[in-house]
Amino acid sequence: MPRQVVILGSTGSIGTQALEVAAALPSEIQIIGLAAGSNFELLAAQIGHWKPQVAVIFDESKFADLKNAVGNSPTKLLCGMDGLLEAATWPDSDVILGAMMGAAGLRPTLAAIEAGKDVAIANKETLVAAGEIVMRAARERGIKLWPVDSEHSALAQCLLGEDPNTVEKLTITASGGPFWTKTREEIAAARPENALKHPTWTMGRKITIDSATMMNKGLEMIEACHLFGVGMEKIEVVVHRQSIVHSFVSFVDGSVKAQLGVPDMKLPIQWGLLGAARVEGDAPKLDLLSMGTLSFEAPDDARFPAIDLAREAMKLGGTAPAALNAANEIAVEAFLEGQTDFYGVTSCVAHVLERHENSARPALDDVLNADSRARECAREWLQR
């Protein structure tokens, strides 16, 4: 019996790769639900191919276009947040892939958990902004959260069969991004087109800029704290240019485990969708004999202040990580549109964090309010 999968964010980078994973494993994975933000054309094509039970377009203004494009179909078509929530809690589903970008992914992911669904979680914001809430809900329902990014999947794979109380440190690898070999002055002068050239991963624009500032590692550190229930003092980052080792777990006895693979999202997507089961799929294989040389370097806070900002936000806890994340989204957008320079991104985030009025033990509304206030504060700083 294949796993019944709903993909929230099926037209994005993770979503389309998840469908390739599913196509390679028809006896393991059945796609029963699809949801997209606004790309109704690709969603319509996916509906034609996969014939899911349900499909959702979040952007209600595209609902008529979607219906036109799909035409006659047994698939139930829905729109808006209500549609997302219905797909996220779809009765026949075994696992929900949460791959919608931004805050739109948060409520459906939480709804899936509360409905007792396992969640393969590719939406960073969900854990960064609302990690406490999400993890508490997962514990209460006894569901499994499968991380779908290479670093956290690596950590989870290394922790299989191990006692989490024996973890001494989680070390997340970072490619270093396009600016690792540049001076602070060169980085300060970088333009969006420079920052968008990532050495090893092909990803969306927002996450590619996050990789250049290394804020993506900061966000991943916060995620790791939540996913694996450890404090920020147990998380470190090591720069590994080749992106072959995806992360390390160090144990109290001195042993270290690592997970490696070709830099390709299909492996963590498949591992998450199958709930840690391993079958031969569409992911490429790593040839250890021709792997060559792997390098590891300490990060550099002077040139890449984002990691420290994330560390500070996580230590504050409460709604501070939500504010960090929201401010970063606004600042990255501004950088991409030429409204601030490269170090303006982290300066903006630092400013917002300083001004942030923290709420400890926040409810979802507190998180969403902190997110809005931080965006507002970031916009004001950028327009100063």
Which residues contact a second copy by CB under 8 A? 157-158, 160-163, 166, 168, 171, 236, 238, 245, 248, 250-262, 264, 266-267, 270-271, 277-281, 283-286, 288-298
Quickly list DSSP for 157-191.
Answer: HHHTTS-GGGEEEEEEEE---TTTTS-HHHHHT--
Q: In the bound complex, what is the minimum distance in angstroms from residue 328's beta carbon to a second copy?
A: 25
Task: Compute the half-sphere exposure of residue 37: CA atoms within 13 Å on the CB side of its CA.
Answer: 13
Q: Which is nearer to a second copy, 126 or 173 (CB)?
A: 173
Backbone angles phi, psi at 188, to 5 degrees: -60, -30
- Residue 23: Cβ-neighbour burial (10 angstroms; 0-12, 13-18, 19+): middle
In order of 91, 137, 236, 244, 381, the CA distances from 159 in angstroms are 31, 22, 16, 18, 42
Q: Which amino acid is at 59?
A: D
State whether residue 265 is helix, strand or coil. coil
Q: In the bound complex, what is the minimum distance in angstroms from residue 122's beta carbon to a second copy?
A: 17
Using alpha carbons only, how large is the chain's radius of gyration in Å?
A: 20
Q: Which is nearer to a second copy, 85 or 294 (CB)?
A: 294
In order of 18, 66, 157, 343, the CA distances from 335 in angstroms are 30, 33, 36, 9
Q: Which is nearer to a second copy, 53 or 247 (CB)?
A: 247
Q: Which is nearer to a second copy, 283 or 367 (CB)?
A: 283
Q: Which is nearer to a second copy, 156 or 323 (CB)?
A: 156
Q: In the bound complex, what is the minimum distance in angstroms from residue 183's beta carbon to a second copy?
A: 21
Q: In the bound complex, what is the minimum distance in angstroms from residue 236's beta carbon to a second copy?
A: 7
State whether residue 53 is helix, strand or coil. coil
Q: Which is nearer to a second copy, 131 or 268 (CB)?
A: 268
Q: In the bound complex, what is the minimum distance in angstroms from residue 347's beta carbon to a second copy?
A: 27
Name which of 28, 22, 25 is nearest 7 in CA terms: 22
Q: Which is nearer to a second copy, 192 or 263 (CB)?
A: 263
User: How far is Cα of residue 228 from the mean position of the Cα atoms in its chain?
Assistant: 15
Q: In the bound complex, what is the minimum distance in angstroms from residue 297's beta carbon to a second copy?
A: 8
Task: Return d(Cα 229, Cα 296) in angstroms, integer.
Answer: 26
Question: Using an 8 Å Cβ cutoff, are 51 and 74 in contact?
Answer: yes
Q: In the bound complex, what is the minimum distance in angstroms from residue 152's beta carbon to a second copy?
A: 14
Task: Return d(Cα 54, Cα 101) in angstroms, integer.
Answer: 20
Q: In the bound complex, what is the minimum distance in angstroms from residue 256's beta carbon to a second copy?
A: 4
Question: Using an 8 Å Cβ cutoff, are 58 and 83 in contact?
Answer: yes
Backbone angles phi, psi at 133, to 5 degrees: -65, -45
Q: Which is nearer to a second copy, 140 or 297 (CB)?
A: 297
Task: Compute the half-sphere exposure of residue 334: CA atoms within 13 Å on the CB side of its CA.
Answer: 25
Q: In the bound complex, what is the minimum distance in angstroms from residue 190's beta carbon to a second copy?
A: 26
Sign for the CA dihedral angle at 197, 310, 81, 380 comes to: negative
Q: Which is nearer to a second copy, 64 or 277 (CB)?
A: 277
